[in-house]
């Protein structure tokens, strides 16, 4: 948890030192509201809570584990494809300059880093046995939180692409398919329950939208400096 707090502190305060905290708070609030009210945040969370509350989660998850309904390739493959597409769509956006492009890639990397930290923190902090009864860290899945974080950021990227609507649907469809396949494969393997993965998908979507909307604004930028014939890069996240 301390890593999450330190990350948010650095971004929200150190990077925003040139303006008032009120402006930073308004922007943070808007990004949070947009992420929470997104259907891919609240709908999976509602499904996960329903599975937990009705005591059907473990039964359904064990049925899936014992009788896998789909043939899914290695879950890591879907995760890698998901991350690659997120960076690819970021690079596809027609930015005015290379610095903006660099900022966009840096934001995606930050989103994935925060997702990994949140996942690790959940795994270490909450004990819950997985359906295969082999581990007690079922809460916290890189194959769901990380991938749905990527899909959320990818969706924001695709929205800015100057391509036909069918192209946008295709790119978003591929991204959400790989995220879902990665998450569901872990259910079939007994690593997480179905309810766990719905909750993880919700968390990932929130993180992806929150990070992207918080930092990908026109008045947020990365500055470059050159000194002593050597180039140095430092981040200056202006709000």
Q: Is residue 1 part of a domain?
A: no
Q: Is residue 205 part of a domain?
A: yes
Among 206, 184, 187, 194, residue whose Cα is nearest residue 52:
194
In total, how many domains does the chain have?
1
Range of the domain at 97: 27-234
Q: How far is CA 114 from each of CA 38, 42, 50, 64, 92, rounded to the nearest angstrom? A: 19, 20, 27, 30, 23
Neighbours of 66 (CB within 10 A): 10
Q: Is residue 76 part of a domain?
A: yes
Q: Is residue 106 part of a domain?
A: yes
Model pTM score? 0.80
Q: Is residue 117 part of a domain?
A: yes
Q: Is residue 9 part of a domain?
A: no
pLDDT tens over the chain, length 239 residues = 445 444 444 444 444 444 455 567 788 889 999 999 999 999 999 999 999 999 899 999 999 998 888 887 677 899 999 999 999 999 999 887 788 888 889 999 999 999 999 999 998 888 887 777 777 767 888 889 999 999 999 999 999 999 999 999 999 999 999 999 999 999 998 889 999 999 999 999 999 999 999 988 655 444 444 444 444 444 444 44
What's the pLDDT score for residue 218?
A: 53
What's the pLDDT score for residue 91?
A: 94
């Amino acid at each position: 948890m301390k890593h999450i707090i330190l990350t948010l502190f650095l971004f929200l305060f150190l990077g925003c030192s040139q303006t008032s905290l009120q402006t930073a708070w308004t922007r943070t609030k808007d990004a949070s509201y947009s992420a929470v009210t997104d259907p891919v945040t609240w709908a999976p969370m509602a499904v996960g809570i329903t599975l937990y509350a009705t005591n059907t989660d473990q039964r359904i998850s064990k049925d899936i584990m014992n009788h896998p309904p789909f043939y899914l390739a290695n879950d890591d493959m879907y995760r890698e494809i998901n991350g690659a597409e997120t960076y690819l769509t970021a690079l596809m956006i027609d930015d005015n300059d290379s610095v903006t492009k660099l900022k966009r890639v840096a934001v995606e990397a930050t989103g994935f880093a925060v997702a990994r930290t949140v996942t690790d923190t959940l795994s270490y902090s909450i004990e819950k046995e997985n359906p295969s009864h082999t581990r007690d860290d079922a809460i916290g899945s890189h194959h769901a939180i990380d991938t749905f974080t990527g899909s959320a950021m990818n969706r924001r990227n695709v929205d800015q692409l100057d391509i036909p609507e069918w192209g946008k649907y295709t790119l978003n469809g591929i991204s959400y398919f790989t995220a879902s396949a990665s998450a569901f494969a872990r259910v079939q393997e007994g690593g997480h329950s179905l309810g766990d993965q719905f909750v993880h998908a919700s968390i990932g979507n929130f993180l992806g939208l929150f990070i992207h909307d918080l930092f990908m604004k026109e008045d947020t930028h990365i500055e470059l400096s050159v000194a002593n014939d050597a180039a140095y890069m430092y981040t200056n996240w202006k709000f």
